[in-house]
Structure 1
Amino acid sequence: MTSTGYEHDDEQTEHCALPPQSIPAGAAGLSGTRLEALIGGHLKWLNGTVLHYYFFDRETDGSTVTLADGSSTFVSWVGDQTQRAAIRAAFQEWKNVGIGLEFAEVTDRAEAEIRIGFMRGDGYWSYLGRDVLDIPFGERTTNFGRRVDTPSGHAAALHELGHVIGMPHEHQSPFAGIVWDEEAVYRWFAGPPNEWSRPKTFHNVIRKLDASEVSGSGWDPDSIMEYPFVQGLILEPEEYRQGLFPPGAISKTDEEYARRWYPGLSPAGPPKLSPFTSVPLGLASGEQADYMIVPEGTRDYTVATFGDSDTVLGLFEVIDGEPRYVRADDDAGSERNSTVTARLVKGRRYIARVRLYSTRGSGETAIMYW
């Protein structure tokens, strides 16, 4: 399905309301490049992760809302098969960019990192990247408040799944140079269909992101992560005073951003890590290295990084060809190193994945298991 973008006269466009993001662990007291790297990467997935998604499907899946007259009604989170098919197509479109993430639909919500609802009247929204891991199994991590089997709905689906892989709003980039008519923005978003409070409008529109939260040093008005804006909200750049209407498709800049964090995986697979052998990583900020572990005996093993660095380390077991999460540790912002201890079984295959936030001191970093 190919999006034809947002209509220029569509003043009823419903916008994405991104929930507040978590604060990186260990961020207090940090400064400079360490803090920037931590803010920019702490919600990104380890490359090669299989993200499992689930569509709410029970009669009891929904929310009770209070109406204007004081009465209440139950609103379902369940979407029909056409809606689900549209989301599957959007996942595939992101996969076709060539990223190293995988997307797999599951029928058990307890197995899903991404849990999708279609609650009418609750808008479009999604938690950002790894923040979904803190949401209880019975709750939505993503919602589509209107149909997504339309051109503008398809654009909204691609946008929300961009948040799922850790992409922020493009118009909030500090490099966009947008000067808002702030009171006009607050008034417009307070009206239908959004009906946002001033804090929600500030969080999703006017607030500028830190430079560390965005990729590169430019602004892409054609990004799928860019909102459409009607006439009268933007004062500068002058060319957008009559409105900003992105095409509603994944742009070349979006593709580059996604592949920077999630480059395609090598068909040969990761190199094998030998026990008690330290392997230098030689990574730049934001880069990742994967290693295969095949235990020679069944016992508790420890996998750890060494050196002056901030890293996140994940351990996965390969089951039926799919890496399934075992355990992870994030040392970012602390003076220790990321360390994972788990019971591994002889002859089974495991993948250790380590992503570097930043280095300090000597800058030398290594990985070893024993």
Structure 2
Amino acid sequence: MTEILQIGSSQLEQLIKRIENIESKLGIQRESKDATHPANEALKYCSLPKVPPQTFNSNVSLDRVRLIQLISKKWVNGTKLRYYFFEKGDYAAGNDQKDIVRQGFEEWKKVGIGIKFEEVRSMSEAEIRIGFLQGDGAWSYIGRDILTIPKQGERTMNFGWDLRTDPRRVDVPVHEIGHTLGFPHEHQNPFAGIVWNEEAVYRYFGGPPNKWDRETTFFNILQKLAPGEVQGTQWDPNSIMHYAFAAGLIDRPEQYRNGLNPAGGLSERDLQQAKFFYPPLDESSYPELKASHSEVLSLAPAEQKNFVINPPATQSYTIQTFGKSDTVMVLFEDINGDLKYVDGDDDSGTDTNAQINVRLYKGRRYVLRIRLYSNFSTGETSVMFW
């Protein structure tokens, strides 16, 4: 105590700041009596754009719906996602901002998943189109929802504040890229068991710096995902897809009444989820799908099979699945080792089969990828082209 009293006031202030900094890095948050005025400065958060949900006929079973919801926004494994930074106008930013986003892609590359990323200079080539419109928040469309957004001038991801001054730094783009890979917000997991102090949540996110209306807060925080949209029943409060929450926003579980702070970075479960949907691929071992020869797929839900197609002649072909199943099927052309999208079809929630009608060229190599949502009858699903 004597030693502490001997410390000057300015030194004491520096010591307190050091302790608070250490606590912040360790994920420790001091209790706040008022959730609208947390001990730490409020952070800006990701606000997802709304997309109309897929609807199903009454004859589609609940089990089918859950499997489709779980898988439908995920890319077929082996897809190369090309990203583009807007270069002019309000959507543009300097390399200091772009480099932090590039680091986010590098973090996902380190995981070793089957999805690849490539930066391109042409907007028309890119699936992911990244803008930096200030004041528009941080957001991304989820997974294959990107494909519904027109390519001419439309963003699929945005960073609406200076990433250099955000204490989360690279975790912000890692989170948004996680959405692009098809992963939703983890705090909306229906199995989390979170009981919110709802009015405190509305006040907190309605205040600066987010200033969300009640609808936006409900959509991004309080609304629980459908059970089919999350894998299993585990909740991961350390997920990169989980927000940090100030004291007073969560009533239960009780250990989070004083705040919830994810550890930062990709959690162990994040890595497991990514590798479950996008396991590493050995592209040299794909079997050949030969013309007029049926191949049984023998897949479990979310599993994928890949084939090489070497057309025997240049002509129009039909590629189709058979059997009572929900599948997504995508065809790529191999151009000097780079797979370019040709066509695809998704028959999920329907009574039809996935079918691609396309002109193929002799001497060219194609790769066909098929992911199963579900088999909803006895018998195997197969694929053939003719």
Q: TM-score of the superposition, structure 2-length normalised? A: 0.88
2:296 — aligned with what?
280
**CA 1:44–1:206: 2 relative to 1, 3 Å:** same
Distance 2:26 2:377 in 1: 48
The number of equivalent residue pairs is 352
Q: What is the correspondence of 1:145-184 to structure 2 with a 5 Å cutoff?
A: 145-149=160-164, 150-184=166-200
Aligned: 1:44 with 2:58: no
Deviation at 1:188, TM superposition (A): 0.6
Distance 1:291 1:162 in 2: 27
- CA deviations on 1:50-102 (whole Å, 9 max, x unpaired) are 1110000023xxxxxxxxxxxxxxxx211110111111111111121111001
CA contact (8 A) 1:25 1:332 kept: no
Aligned: 1:120 with 2:134: yes
**CA 1:206–1:5: 2 relative to 1, 3 Å:** farther
Q: What is the correspondence of 1:197-346 to structure 2 with a 5 Å cutoff?
A: 197-346=213-362
What fraction of aligned residue pairs are identical, expressed as a percent? 48
2:53 — aligned with what?
23
Q: Aligned to 1:139, which of 140, 154, 177?
A: 154
Aligned: 1:350 with 2:380: no
Deviation at 1:7, TM superposition (A): 8.2
CA contact (8 A) 1:317 1:326 kept: yes
- Secondary structure class of the residue paired with 1:85: helix
CA contact (8 A) 1:162 1:225 kept: yes
1:68 — aligned with what?
none
**CA 1:214–1:80: 2 relative to 1, 3 Å:** same
| Aligned residue identity for 1:134 | T
Deviation at 1:6, TM superposition (A): 7.1
| Aligned residue identity for 1:87 | V
2:35 — aligned with what?
none
CA contact (8 A) 1:5 1:152 kept: no
1:85 — aligned with what?
99
Which runs of 5 or more residues in structure 1 are unaligned?
60-75
**CA 1:27–1:95: 2 relative to 1, 3 Å:** farther
Distance 1:224 1:289 in 2: 29
| Aligned residue identity for 2:71 | G
- Secondary structure class of the residue paired with 2:78: coil
**CA 1:268–1:197: 2 relative to 1, 3 Å:** same
Distance 1:107 1:89 in 2: 18
Deviation at 1:28, TM superposition (A): 5.6
- CA deviations on 1:4-43 (whole Å, 9 max, x unpaired) are 6878443320011011234226456523211111111111
- CA deviations on 1:303-357 (whole Å, 9 max, x unpaired) are 1111110101111101121111100111111111101010000010001111101
Q: Aligned to 2:42, which of 4, 7, 12?
A: 12
Instruction: Choose between structure 1 and 2: higher helix proportion.
Output: 2
Distance 2:336 2:122 in 1: 18
1:54 — aligned with what?
84
**CA 1:27–1:245: 2 relative to 1, 3 Å:** farther
**CA 1:28–1:41: 2 relative to 1, 3 Å:** farther
Distance 1:17 1:42 in 2: 21
- Greater shift, 4-13 or 80-89, is seen at 4-13
- CA deviations on 1:101-139 (whole Å, 9 max, x unpaired) are 011111111111110011111111111101111112211
Distance 2:248 2:293 in 1: 62
Deviation at 1:268, TM superposition (A): 2.3
| Aligned residue identity for 1:241 | R
2:382 — aligned with what?
366
Deviation at 1:153, TM superposition (A): 2.7
CA contact (8 A) 2:316 2:360 kept: yes
CA contact (8 A) 2:43 2:209 kept: yes
Which runs of 5 or more residues in structure 2 are unaligned?
1-23, 30-38
CA contact (8 A) 1:51 1:102 kept: yes
- Greater shift, 13-22 or 49-58, is seen at 13-22
- Secondary structure class of the residue paired with 1:343: strand
CA contact (8 A) 1:309 1:363 kept: no
- Secondary structure class of the residue paired with 1:96: helix
CA contact (8 A) 2:291 2:312 kept: no
- Secondary structure class of the residue paired with 2:171: helix
Distance 1:160 1:143 in 2: 9
CA contact (8 A) 1:181 1:234 kept: yes
CA contact (8 A) 1:190 1:196 kept: yes
When the two chains are superposed, the root-mean-square deviation of aligned CA atoms in Å is 1.6
| Aligned residue identity for 2:51 | Q
Distance 1:80 1:306 in 2: 50
**CA 1:328–1:11: 2 relative to 1, 3 Å:** same
CA contact (8 A) 1:26 1:332 kept: no
Distance 1:226 1:26 in 2: 29
